[in-house]
Amino acid sequence: MRQAGRFLPEYRDVRKDLSFLDLVHSPEVCLEVALQPLRRFPLDATIVFSDILTILDAIGAGLRFQKGDGPTLAEPVRTPGDASRLDWTDLGSKLGYTYEAVRLLRAGAPDHALFGFAGSPWTLFCYLVEGEGSSDFARTRTFARRYPDVTAHLLESLADAVSGHLIEQLRAGADAVQVFDTWGGILGETAWRHLSLPSLRRVQASVAKAVPGARTLLFVRAGHLTAAALEAGYSGISLHDTASLVDARRLAGRTVATQGNIDNTVLLAGPDAIRAEAARVGRELHAGERGGIGHIVNLGHGILPSTPPEAVAMLCEAVAQIPVIL
């Protein structure tokens, strides 16, 4: 969850001379910022440095990151006519810088598990229509209600772009790929089943077909969607801190892994809060009857930029105390 992000002074140093997108487009620098947290903390895994929105740039929606304002798109899809301007060709070569970054990271961190990722079709659709971040994506939800056929078609095209992107990252050496359905949580369960689930299933089916046995994780930033998210058929489910770890593991059964769920604000709250949260995860992993299937310790959402690096070291130490009974 954005482990290489803005909380590390050495990352901010790299960013002094380079815009975020220039960084993402430079595989060697992506390698450097992905390695930075591995030098500091005893982590088991690394994630390729990129962003979920690069796909929107590649289809011609014109991505920009402005200081303090978050991402904006120069060419959002506000009407059905706008959708016809998008260019779905050659995405593999347009996004090739990320596959190169995966290859470099595979070689540079041979002993770490390596994650690739992409945004979910619905989450990409949210940015594509809204043209920027939003708390409720009202314009996007209105578009989806007003133009259901164009929406379904765009979600399918996005699903094909997302699966192609994940397949290339797996082929370049990623051990697992995570799909971020960050904005699935703005939908109620019925709407989510209609607007996000079908394209998530389409992604899972294409990836599993192209890379048999591929490990896939699905992150939904919402506790109320855990049961529905399990229907997408991914090999693991990544939990926001509003989800119940106990319920998720019960629902996931013995074949689906779990990940995440740690409240990212404990890292700002001092040693006692950190130890208490690690102990909570330990307790909840051992509740129930499940055993035999993994849990990836992680935050429930991206690390906050104001996190002191020492707090991450403390969390790693506290997590190492959790007895493992697999």
* Sites of contact with ligand CP3 (CB under 6 A): 2-6, 15, 20, 34, 47, 49, 51-53, 70-71, 117, 133, 180, 182, 221, 302
Angle between helices 271-286 and 309-320 (to 10 degrees): 30
Whether 292 contacts 324, CB under 8 Å: no
The residue behind tokens 């961190």 is 109
CB of 303 to ligand CP3, least distance (A): 8
- State the catalytic residue, choosing from 11, 127, 181, 241: 127
Based on the number of CB atoms within 10 Å of its own CB, is 224 exposed (0-12), middle (13-18) or buried (19 or more)? middle
CB of 51 to ligand CP3, least distance (A): 4
CB of 325 to ligand CP3, least distance (A): 30
116, two tokens: 């690739």
234 is catalytic: no
Rounded to 10 degrees, the C-alpha dihedral 168/157/222/194 comes to -140
The residue behind tokens 């050496």 is 173
Choice between 106 and 221, CB closer to ligand CP3: 221
15 is catalytic: yes
Choice between 51 and 277, CB closer to ligand CP3: 51
- State the catalytic residue, choosing from 11, 51, 103, 181: 51
CB of 69 to ligand CP3, least distance (A): 7
280 is catalytic: no
Choice between 170 and 285, CB closer to ligand CP3: 170
Q: Which residue, 324, 121, 95, is CA-closest to 206?
A: 121
- State the catalytic residue, choosing from 6, 171, 201, 290: 6
- Partners of 113 in the β-ladder: 45
Q: How many CB atoms lie within 10 A of CB 73?
A: 20
Choice between 71 and 236, CB closer to ligand CP3: 71
319, two tokens: 């997590």
User: Which residues are the active-site residues?
Assistant: 2, 6, 15, 51, 127
